[in-house]
Amino acid sequence: MCEPITAASIAIGVGSAAAGGMQAIGQHQAQQAAVARSNAIAQQNYQRELQIAAQKSQKENEVYKAEQEAQTAALNNYYATISRNQAEET
């Protein structure tokens, strides 16, 4: 009589262990999917930040270039004025 009860207990134990193992696998896969989503979002945010930084840098470069051109034009005007003034004195 003990043997059928023991066999049934073993079968239940094996069944619950298998179910627990399947549940653990499911949880692990769900966690992997969550990490993959998080990584994808982080990668997209990083790419967006790179694009923003590149655009900002390009705008700053354009501003710097315009300032340099304005400074060059001002210096050219200054030297032209000096040259004209010297020409008038002679």
Stated pTM of the model: 0.54
Q: pLDDT digits over 37-76, tens only?
A: 999 999 999 999 999 999 999 999 999 999 999 999 999 9
Average pLDDT over residues 2-27: 64
- Position with higher pLDDT, 6 vs 34: 34
> What pLDDT, on the 0 to 100 scale, is given for residue 2?
46
Residue-wise DSSP of 9-75: HHHHHHHHHHHHHHHHHHHHHHHHHHHHHHHHHHHHHHHHHHHHHHHHHHHHHHHHHHHHHHHHHHH
> What pLDDT, on the 0 to 100 scale, is given for residue 26?
85
